[in-house]
Amino acid sequence: VIDAAAPVLVDLAEVSSLGDHKRLGESIAEVLQECIQSHVMVRSSISSHTKEQLDELANSRRRTKWEKNMPKEDLHIKQAAALVVKLEGNSLFSSGDIAGAAAKYTEALASCPMKSRKERLVLFSNRAQCHLLMQQPLAAISDATRALCLHSPINRHAKSLWRRAQAYDMLGLAKESLLDAILFINECSQSTDPDLSLWKNKVPDYAERLVKKQMRASWLFREAAIKHGSTNHHGDIGDIYGEEGDDSEWETASESDIENAVGGEAGNNGSWQNDEQEKAEHEKSSKEGSIH
């Protein structure tokens, strides 16, 4: 049970709060640590991947305590160093070296201060994009989930929702993919982000296609689709949702996501985002809606 649950719980360890549950992530981390420490046999029976995840969590908690006593100037230096490495990763991504870019984002995460949540969100989300392109959906889900946990409010980062929706699709998890795709569309329509506001009152073509595909696969909302989308209640469900396209196109990220990952994600610090480039790419996405 620990081997199956621990990696998922580790991804949630940085949730600040959820509803009435305050410091939820910290509570999850404490329970995991206590469970492993109190059951020596548990650690000897879990997989090497789970051990790595738990060790990473323990190291992150030590870093958080250590950084609390660091001078602000030193933290600023660490953040600046992380930015330099991130930009190196963006350059590698742009040149097509996806594995190299992922390694740079990992390196940047190792030096970026733990309290720099927005910057770390960017790095996790960009690395999730790399995992998508390298056909590593489980790793993409993990990084996208971590990015969503770091976002404020939680689970509202549009790009990470879209990347996780695609990763779920790679694994054939239609319901999970559908829910994230719907959240992505909802976030685009309601966001005050100047980049995402370009999508207000619009649904990107590629998102619409994924929603239709997953509705067919999961049969969610079937009754509503029959009522509003078809007069033939006994027809093929494919007739209700429309013709199904080539599913293979969803195995890689959208062109807009790839280009946005190169340009960097949004943050309050202007050095972490090129606003004009982001705006241009979103405009291109709205016009083309292509999947590559």
Does 160 have pLDDT greater than 80? yes
Tokens 């990220």 map to which residue?
Answer: 253
Structure confidence at residue 272 (pLDDT): 57
The greatest distance separating any two alpha carbons of the chain, rounded to the nearest whole angstrom, comes to 69
Which of 105, 114, 95 lies closest to 139 in space, CA to CA?
105
Spatial contact of 240 and 229, defined as CB atoms under 8 Å apart: yes
Give residues with Cβ within 8 angstroms of 115, minimum separation 6. 64, 67, 75
In degrees and rounded to multiples of 5, residue 164 shows phi and psi of -70, -35
The whole-model pTM stands at 0.73
pLDDT bucket at 196, cuts 50 / 70 / 90: low
Structure confidence at residue 193 (pLDDT): 66
Structure confidence at residue 165 (pLDDT): 97
Spatial contact of 204 and 188, defined as CB atoms under 8 Å apart: yes
Spatial contact of 86 and 110, defined as CB atoms under 8 Å apart: no
The span from the CA of 243 to the CA of 37, in Å, is 54
Identify residue 205 by its one-letter amino acid code.
D
pLDDT bucket at 219, cuts 50 / 70 / 90: confident
Structure confidence at residue 242 (pLDDT): 41
Structure confidence at residue 285 (pLDDT): 38
Percent of the chain with pLDDT over 70: 66
Higher pLDDT, 174 or 5: 174
Which segment, 135-149, 214-228, 270-284, is predicted with the most confidence on average? 135-149
pLDDT single digits (tens) 47-82: 777 778 888 888 888 898 999 999 999 999 999 999
How does the average pLDDT of the chain come out, rounded?
Answer: 76
Q: Which residues face 17 on adjacent strands? A: 22
Structure confidence at residue 183 (pLDDT): 94
Does 111 have pLDDT greater than 90? yes
Structure confidence at residue 190 (pLDDT): 78
CA atoms within 13 A on the CB side of 232: 8
Query: Residue 64, exposed/middle/buried by CB under 10 A (0-12, 13-18, 19+)?
Result: middle
pLDDT bucket at 262, cuts 50 / 70 / 90: very low
The span from the CA of 181 to the CA of 188, in Å, is 11
**What is the pLDDT averaged over residues 238-251?**
37
**What is the pLDDT averaged over residues 238-259?**
37
Does 266 have pLDDT greater than 80? no
**What is the pLDDT averaged over residues 214-233?**
68
